[in-house]
Amino acid sequence: MHTYFDTGGIQKNMPSSKPAATLLLVLGLTVYLLAGSPQSAYAMHIMEGFLPLGWTLFWWAAFIPFFVLGLRSLQRITREAPELKLLLGLAGAFTFVLSALKIPSVTGSSSHPTGTGLGAVMFGPLPMSVLGSIVLLFQALLLAHGGLTTLGANAFSMAVAGPMAGYAVYRSLSRVSGRPKLSIFAAAAAADLTTYIVTSVQLALAFPAESGGVLGSLAKFGGVFAVTQVPLAVTEGLLTVLIWNWLQAHSPSELSLLQSRMKGVRTHD
């Protein structure tokens, strides 16, 4: 059974200035942050050619099924709720901006916010597997923040594991606490931290320590990442709540439409 939406009446009543203002905000924030942030020779999460071939192929194989499911989810959303395309663009742009801010970390890697929590809260985790991987691809090609061979591993950590954890935290905490902003903060922080936990696991599996093996290597990588990533996760959570507050203040009709439309779309997932 399929749900069909009559969007004509709603679109007529939606103020055209609000989507335009949202888009201008995103573009302005993107230009400001990218122009003002120092560039690094480090790659996305794991640099080009850093992983052994076997693990490179393994993480590509693990990522591709989620990408396919994400494409199907995006097609369903845009087909049944086409008026949400602008908010999809906002989620992608937010991810691009935050994940472009690099702090050099473990050799062959870097720390930065991920920005995937907002999109996971708005649309669920599957669409973020596509949006996040596109962001990583653009960064590799346009900003020299990585390469193609490690895209599978980086996308699995940032575009798959992070959004899934963030969405799970958001849904669980929303039911328990009934406080949406606290849930959004926790979701964004969880998505960020989970990304780097998975990255630490990926590096530990590829490069086990001579003393302690995989667990010893995991403790080393995780400990180094934690120094920068825990404060970044808290900061990202606060920023995500600020963006949500901005949307509530300036685009309440779009958020209301998002919530009602996504309830219908998710019945098919």
pLDDT of 225-267, one tens digit each? 888 888 889 999 999 999 999 988 887 887 887 877 766 555 4
Of residues 103 and 71, more confidence is placed in 71
Split at pLDDT 50, 70, 90, the class of 157 is very high
Q: Which amino acid is at 174?
A: S
Split at pLDDT 50, 70, 90, the class of 60 is very high
**Helical H segments across the chain, by residue range:** 8-13, 17-36, 53-80, 85-99, 116-123, 125-142, 151-155, 162-177, 180-206, 213-250, 252-266
208, 217 contact by CB (below 8 A)? yes
Provide, rounded to the nearest whole percent, the portion of the chain with pLDDT above 70. 76
Number of neighbouring beta carbons within 10 Å of residue 113: 26
Residue reference for tokens 């900061």: 235
pLDDT value for 268: 46
pLDDT value for 266: 52
pLDDT value for 65: 98
155, 164 contact by CB (below 8 A)? no
Please state the rounded mean pLDDT for residues 147-164. 94
* φ, ψ of residue 129 in degrees (nearest 5): -65, -30
Contacts of 221-225 with CB under 8 Å at 24 or more apart are: 221/106, 222/196, 222/197, 224/105, 224/106, 225/105, 225/106, 225/109, 225/111, 225/196, 225/199, 225/200
pLDDT value for 83: 84
Split at pLDDT 50, 70, 90, the class of 21 is low
Three-class SS state of 109: strand
Q: Which of 24-28, 180-184, 254-258 has the lowest mean pLDDT?
A: 24-28
Split at pLDDT 50, 70, 90, the class of 36 is very low
153, 132 contact by CB (below 8 A)? no
Q: For residue range 197-230, what is the model confidence (pLDDT) as tens digits?
A: 999 999 999 999 888 899 999 998 888 888 888 8
Please state the rounded mean pLDDT for residues 188-198. 95
Split at pLDDT 50, 70, 90, the class of 32 is very low
Domains of the chain with CATH codes: 42-266 (1.10.1760.20)
Please state the rounded mean pLDDT for residues 132-161. 88
- Degrees to nearest 5, angle at CA 44 with 90 and 240: 35
d(CA 246, CA 54): 45
pLDDT value for 108: 52
Please state the rounded mean pLDDT for residues 130-140. 92
Provide, rounded to the nearest whole percent, the portion of the chain with pLDDT above 90. 49
